[in-house]
């Protein structure tokens, strides 16, 4: 624990169980602000469950979650969530602009129409992710990496201070991945916070400040330099790992 760091999310002794299984148990972790934190773990480790619990979308049986020192209800305006890409119907007849505009809905409230300021915000967000030329395209015509960038733009349009992303790099090309990581880094440099879950271990060391190793319980948490190590990884993944390029490790299941 890094009590000296300012924390944006405090998870205290959270347990989530459903369908007779325990998804995550006794989670105690405080995510620091102004940092990029990665959550890693094998399939079924509870990464998405933890993120949903933090967002108040999943009820928890024990424990508490505090965001920005308050409840999710109060804090929601300051948080933007980027769900997994596969959950979306890409044939849906919406354009890139329509999707990013959704990020403004929460601020608009019931019955109000989008203003010029909203439209401007959409274009700014798209420019930040390098997707402005695609503003009128139907989302099904985009590649995986482009779609993910549009989702990110939607989150940016919310003008939040905390960005939570669930598996943002699943199935996207390396170039898009780099773009996104650059963006997240500048987000952090602006004084904001990023929390993301990922399967891809190779990028953790270079792009994340903190890492949480999760396998239904907290296996390890801390700055990447000290925490992202072979012993922690082996305990997290329970499988054999072998070295690549010395310090990097790739999991073999």
Partner 1 sequence: MIAFANLWHDYASVLHKQFFQHALVAAILIGILCGVVGTYVVLRGYAFLGDALAHATFPGVAIAYLLGTSILGGALVAGLVTAFLIGGVSRNRRVSNDSAIGVLFAGAFALGVMLISRIRSYRKDLSSLLFGNVLGVSTADLVIICAMGALILALVFFFYRELLLISFDPIYTASLGYPAWALDLLLLGVLTLTIVVCLQVVGNVLVVAMILTPSAAARLLTDRVPAMMALGAGIGAFSAVIGLFISYPAELAPGATIVIVATAIFFLALLFSPRQGYLTTWLIHRRASSSTNEQVA
Binding site for partner 1 (CB under 8 A): 19, 55-57, 73, 76, 79, 81-84, 87-89, 92-95, 98-99, 102, 105-106, 108, 110-111, 138, 154
Q: How far is the CB of 219 from partner 1 (least distance, A)?
A: 26
Closer residue to partner 1 (CB): 166 or 201: 166
Q: How far is the CB of 116 from partner 1 (least distance, A)?
A: 17
Q: How far is the CB of 105 from partner 1 (least distance, A)?
A: 5
Closer residue to partner 1 (CB): 58 or 227: 58
C-alpha dihedral sign at 142, 148, 152, 155: positive
Closer residue to partner 1 (CB): 27 or 82: 82
Beta strands in 33-174 (DSSP E): 36-40, 62-67, 79-82, 162-166
Find all residues with CB under 8 Å of 8, minimum gap 6, and list them: 31, 32, 33, 67, 68, 161, 162, 193
Q: How far is the CB of 233 from partner 1 (least distance, A)?
A: 29
Closer residue to partner 1 (CB): 108 or 230: 108
Helix or strand (DSSP H, E) at 120? helix 116-128
Closer residue to partner 1 (CB): 92 or 243: 92
Burial class (CB in 10 A: 0-12, 13-18, 19+), 167: buried
Measured CA angle at 186 (ends 29, 100), to 5 deg: 90
Q: How far is the CB of 103 from partner 1 (least distance, A)?
A: 9
Distance linking the first and last C-alpha atoms of the chain: 30
């Amino acid at each position: 624990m890094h009590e000296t760091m300012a924390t944006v999310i405090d998870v205290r002794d959270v347990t989530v169980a459903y369908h007779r299984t325990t998804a995550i148990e006794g989670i105690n972790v405080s995510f620091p602000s102004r940092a990029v934190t990665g959550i890693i773990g094998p399939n079924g480790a509870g990464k998405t469950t933890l993120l949903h619990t933090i967002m108040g979308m999943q009820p928890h049986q024990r424990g508490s979650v505090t965001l920005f020192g308050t409840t999710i209800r109060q804090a929601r305006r300051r948080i933007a969530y980027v769900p997994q890409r596969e959950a979306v119907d890409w044939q849906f007849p919406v354009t890139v602009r329509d999707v990013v505009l959704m990020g403004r809905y929460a601020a608009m409230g019931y019955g109000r129409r989008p203003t010029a300021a909203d439209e401007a915000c959409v274009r700014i967000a798209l420019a930040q992710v390098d997707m402005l030329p695609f503003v009128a395209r139907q989302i099904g015509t985009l590649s995986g990496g482009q779609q993910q960038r549009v989702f990110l733009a939607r989150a940016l349009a919310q003008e939040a201070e905390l960005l939570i992303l669930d598996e943002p790099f699943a199935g996207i090309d390396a170039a898009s991945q780099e773009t996104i990581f650059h963006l997240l880094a500048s987000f952090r440099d602006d004084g904001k916070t990023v929390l993301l879950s990922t399967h891809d271990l190779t990028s953790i060391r270079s792009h994340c400040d903190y890492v949480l190793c999760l396998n239904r319980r907290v296996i390890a948490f801390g700055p990447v330099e000290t925490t992202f190590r072979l012993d922690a990884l082996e305990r997290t993944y329970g499988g054999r790992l072998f070295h690549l390029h010395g310090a990097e490790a790739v999991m073999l299941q």
